[in-house]
Amino acid sequence: MNSQIRHRTLILLLSFSILACNTDQELTETQKLYLTAKLWGFLKYYHPEVNKGQINWDDELINFIPRLADAKTNQDLSKLYVRWIDSLGDVSPCLDCDTPTAKDYFDKNFNLSWLQAEAFSPELMKRLQYIQRNRTQRQHYVSLEGANTYFTNESVIPAAEWKDKHVRLLTLFRYWNVIEYFYPYKYVMDNDWDDLLLYFIPKFSNVHTEQEYHLLIRELTVSLCDSHSFFTTDLIKEFAGRKYIAATFVILDDKAVINGFYNDSLPKLDDLRLGDAILSVDNIPVAEIYNKNVKYINGSNDAVKKLDYSFRWILNGNTDTVKITFERMGEIQSKVIRRYEPSMWKTKQDAVIGWKVLAHNIGYVNLEEGIVKVEDLSRMMQELASTKAIIFDLRGYPEFMWDELLAYFNKEEKVFSKLTEPDLSYPGRFVWQMGDTIGKFNPSAYSGKVMILMHEGTQSRAESFVMALQTIEGAITIGRQTSGADGNIAEFVFFNDKISWITGRGVFYPDGRETQRIGIVPDVHVPLTLEDIRTSRDAILEKAIAMANQMK
């Protein structure tokens, strides 16, 4: 049994013991904090008096935690919880809470079985179940506006208060409960969210430095397995390293392979070339560095972590130089190369053409934001109308214009997605909603073939755009697995102005197929190879052109 599995097994055993241990068994501090975090969050989003906004709910937690010292057993803790609940005021019966509803629920995230844990006294369970049945119907700390979720009326935690253990736990408990009740993809995370609460409580309790605290928050957000989720501060940048080599890279076969440069001049100083495969950094293998830092590398899947988001965690540092061992054309070499502050890059931006007609009457469209706009579509389609195929490149982030574009391609209106959004009247539950409709009645719609280019950098709106284009009859996706983070983002503030994002709504195909973490799976897979990088070959585009040329 490896250490990761053994660690997870221990957490599961601890979780089970918390919820089912004898009422006279003495509790650890972690066990008491674990149950308190869950209770505090439940009351925050369920108790009608708390949601009137007249109770400082953060202070309630901070003042309650020291009282846990007096609770030695589950029986003691239950009594303490009952007194806390009773102090909040009476809960009036909810006449609407049990009314049958036509809502179509998606409940893979929903689990309140812990309210009936054996660790709780019958009196406490009775209180909790009553609150669940008579829950608030008006949220004070969460709101929905259109497609967006907002975490409202939260007090700002000053960054300087990180030394206070209770404040650190408040930060953890806030975020944990936001994910517990309002994150649509909790059920597809690598680790059980309850287990992660147990894992992080002692870590947040025993922080020694401010940087350690920031890195813990980074690790917490990364544990969502969500490309949208991140957390960055100056102290995190200092830990990862503020200086970069003059090249970009991807990780292939445990090697950091150079695939681009920040400008034309700096890489030449160290003779860096496309396709140089870095094996070690300061004598440490790239695979070892990656595995050490992977808990800080956000991403919905392994591909996006290695091919997109690992850039800061492998070759960065705070020194001016770094020693690398690399492989070039079968020969292994070592040398010392320079690192630079980002201000040194002065990247030159090449002019980009939005659309053009390639050889053999094939259209190409770069849907990168700012390159092709809504007002360009009429002219673009006039110029591409007679092509035998159009290749749409979605390897960047596009404008929000799929409805306008698809009007030229679909002969009728279509639905391209199905969504889930949180039910604020029953926190933790999500409701199915039909997604956007696209296209319109158009008997003279474009009749050529449509191809869609994508890879690990195709994320969020770009993934939705791919799904929209897939409604075109016969459309083919070409490239690699996308980022796997579709849907609108929701913003969470940890302290001061330091935020993190999460995916705020679930996005599925109309038939219920999932996209989170999986991404969009291409019809035609084109792997990234060392030779393609070395020769600057766009294998994905070449594959699309070759397929278009085979069509009649």
Superfamily of domain 355-549: 2-enoyl-CoA Hydratase; Chain A, domain 1 (3.90.226.10)
What pLDDT, on a 0 to 100 scale, did the predictor assign at position 23?
A: 55
Q: Does domain 243-340 have CATH number 3.40.50.970?
A: no
Nearest partner of 466 among 505, 412, 428, 521, judged by Cα:
521
Enumerate residues 6+ apart whose C-beta is below 8 A from 87: none
Q: Are 459 and 397 in contact (CB under 8 A)?
A: yes
pTM for the full model? 0.93
As a whole number, mean pLDDT of residues 267-293 equals 97
Region of 387 (left: φ > 0; alpha: ψ -120 to 50; beta: rest) is beta
Whether pLDDT at 24 is above 80: no
Please give the Cα distance from 41 to 523 (Å, whole number).
43
Asked whether the beta carbons of 494 and 404 are under 8 A apart, the reply is no
Q: What's the chain's average pLDDT?
A: 93
Output the pLDDT for position 3: 38
Please tell me if the domain spanning 243-340 has the same topology as the one spanning 355-549. Answer: no
User: Of 19-23, 47-51, 322-326, 402-406, which gets the smallest average pLDDT?
Assistant: 19-23
Residues of the chain above pLDDT 70, percent: 95
Q: If you ran DSSP here, which 8-state letter would residue 366 be given?
A: E
Nearest-10 Cα torsion for 66, 71, 72, 74:
-130
Average pLDDT over residues 140-144: 97
pLDDT band, residue 347 (cuts 50/70/90):
low
Predicted pLDDT at 346: 72
Segments making up each domain of the chain, as ranges: 1-140, 243-340, 355-549
Q: How many residues are listed for the chain in this entry? A: 552
How far is the C-alpha of 507 from the C-alpha of 489, rounded, in Å? 12
